[in-house]
Chains A and B, each alone.
Chain A
Amino acid sequence: MATVTTTGRQKSGWGTANTIVIALALIPVLWMVSLSFKTPPAILDPSLLPKQWTWGNYTGILSTSQFIRPLVNSIGIGLISTLIAVVLASMSAYAVARLQFPGKSVLIGMALLIAMFPAISLVTPMFNIERSLGLFNTWPGLIIPYVAFGLPLGIYTLSAFFREIPWELEKAAKIDGATPFQAFVKVIAPLAAPGMVTTSILVFLACWNEFLFAISFTSTLASRTAPASLAYFSGSSQFTVPTGPIAAAAVVITIPIIVFVVFFQRRIVAGLTSGAVKG
């Protein structure tokens, strides 16, 4: 009896704690959504539900290249960076997981170091480098740093996946006449596919959310990404604060993340249960 009441109490305790944490995380999001549906005069209205709903903020931002073009940049830069980072990361993760080679611990250490390095300290030197190389305000100007920062993440995630694949499969492939590269492409990579998808999503989200480099290394719509473009929104007159459009743009940027996270959860569960066994 005593244990049951304890369990009940524990349950309600956890329930309360969880509710508080979720509320803390979600209230700003809900507020953002609410703002995006409010008319400009109602922006300062403290109620969560808008008294008068409007799509105006959305139609406004989606009808101007000020937001559409950065959205295209974001998708393009994100996809290219992800592709390059995951292909390179899968190769080096394979080496890290499988091979003994001189400098292996240095490589892992460097990857960790890059992942931990404060990005802000790199902005100024990289700004100068990009300007002298002519990469400033171009897609490659963002893709290269994104790949660099996506790699450590990819190497760590993927090497964990590769380690789970039985070593003997590779021996079998070698005996069957595969070159090391064929063994990787035809046997190991397909089995690590769930891991690659997971890694791709993580890297893509990191690129998608990135703000510091995006605002520092771009100057025009040619390469400005969606998060950076928010900072350049202007109101209908120079005395209007563009709160509504910014909220609407933030919601638009968040939607793919929500979609990915839902998709990604399913993927990782499927990956862990059937990936290594059934493929």
Chain B
Amino acid sequence: MADIVLDHVTKRFPDGALAVDKISLDIADGEFVILVGPSGCGKSTTLNMIAGLEDITEGELRIGGKVVNNEAPKDRDIAMVFQSYALYPHMTVRENMGFALKLAKTPQATIDQKVNEAARILDLTQHLDRRPANLSGGQRQRVAMGRAIVRDPSAFLMDEPLSNLDAKLRVQTRTEVSKLQKRLGTTMVYVTHDQTEAMTLGDRLAVMRSGLLQQVGSPHELYDNPVNLFVAGFIGSPAMNFMGATLEEGSLRTTIGDLPMSAQLKQTLERSNAGRQVIVGIRPENFEDAALVQPDLRSHGITFHATIDVVESMGSDVFVYFTQQSGLSATTDQLADLADDAGTADAVAGEETVTARLDPVTRIHEGDNAELWADVRSMHVFDPDTGKNLSLSTEPAAGPAAGSTAGPAAT
């Protein structure tokens, strides 16, 4: 058991590329922290630095209070699960799981006992004498987990451990991982590019982009109070809708209509010196079929008409998609990164597909010019240049996240 502290940790590769830029993160003992971000954001490099597989260029890494920058992986008392599982093909499941203990010269009886125990937890007992090549993907994944568990390490590091599983098994295994972590109570750092996995698993999420830590907080905090466009667009599925807006006489003029602002929002925007051009973000679930909105709620939003392109009925929800002039005069880097990640980088310029999540009883059909309602109470307003969320009443990263990113001064 140990806490992990990253103190202005930086990674610069020999070719000069800056992979990770001054990341500071406190991971408490027993905490489950997820590093999440699009590919190339530096999350795996960060994990490898914690593991000791990559050198740290600058900054300090402490595990259990001890600076481990120059310690070899074997002296850090951590276990790691790799994306490819990296099982030793020439060893049986039993030998794979016991390898670390054997290297540590643990008595054979103890090794057997620990391996059997881990195999029981992971339901691998009948496969102990098989080779990895003869196991299914899910079983291999469990062996990789087992190899980490038997060590009883002070921290687990997981590098996209579920991404090689098929969708159904991934959801099932996700729950297993979560249960396992609760049961063992061991500190866990988990890397994924899948925001759903991140939201469902972690106590806290650290969102990364281009080597920089964007925001750290509970899934809830990140969802409700994203500090910038990138976090807002990355967290949540389907993603938040963004549209350009102009500040006009106390309301936000967008292509779907003038969005009224609360007194508090007005105040916050004034305080943050917002320019006239802003970006408004509304989550899909903040839309509704206007016909289904209670009269007393209608005043919290606006109604507008849109031609529906696609309707997807999921049973519990209905997703409708419609196209709007985006009104985004300039695309910011953050939006470009999000589009890259979603694979929509080549979408028609100036047009934006808006996703709305409606109540399943809606009678809207494809091609309808439907009347929709948008709730403006939980909309976000972003600065188009910096991407900063202007509608957060306090300064960046809100209270809890700021607390967790602060580098301890007294060390």
Contact = CB atoms under 8 A, between A and B. Distances in A.
A250 interface: no
B103 A166 contact: no
A175 B80 contact: yes
Contacts of A178: 74, 103
Contact of B86 (A171, A179, A276): A171
A187 B87 CA distance: 10
A177 B74 contact: yes
Interface in A194-229: none
Nearest to A275: B89
Contacts of B89: 191, 276-279
Interface in B121-146: 131, 133
A172 B91 CA distance: 14
A182 B99 CA distance: 11
Interface in A164-180: 166, 168-169, 171-179
Contact of B133 (A168, A190, A277): A277
Nearest to A170: B86
A176 B103 contact: yes
A175 B88 contact: no
Contacts of B79: 175
B104 interface: yes
Interface string A228-255: 0000000000000000000000000000
Contacts, number: 69
Contacts of B151: 176
Contacts of A276: 89
Interface residues of B, number: 26
A277 B90 CA distance: 8
B127 to A, nearest CB: 15
Interface in B298-355: none
Given A175-B51, A175-B80, A191 B90 contact: yes
Contacts of A173: 88, 99
Interface string B88-115: 1111000000011001100000000000
Interface in B67-91: 72-74, 78-80, 82-84, 86-91
A271 to B, nearest CB: 13
B53 A177 contact: no
Nearest to B144: A172
Contact of A177 (B86, B91, B100): B100
B147 interface: yes
B74 A172 contact: no
Contacts of B131: 278-279
A175 B78 contact: yes
Nearest to B14: A100
A187 B88 contact: yes
Contacts of B83: 168
A190 B99 CA distance: 14
Query: Lowest 6 A-B CB distances belong to which pairs?
Result: A279-B90, A176-B100, A172-B86, A168-B86, A177-B74, A278-B133
14 contacts: A171-B53, A172-B80, A173-B88, A174-B52, A174-B72, A175-B73, A175-B74, A175-B79, A177-B73, A177-B100, A178-B74, A191-B90, A279-B89, A279-B131
Interface of A: 166, 168-169, 171-179, 182, 186-187, 190-191, 276-279
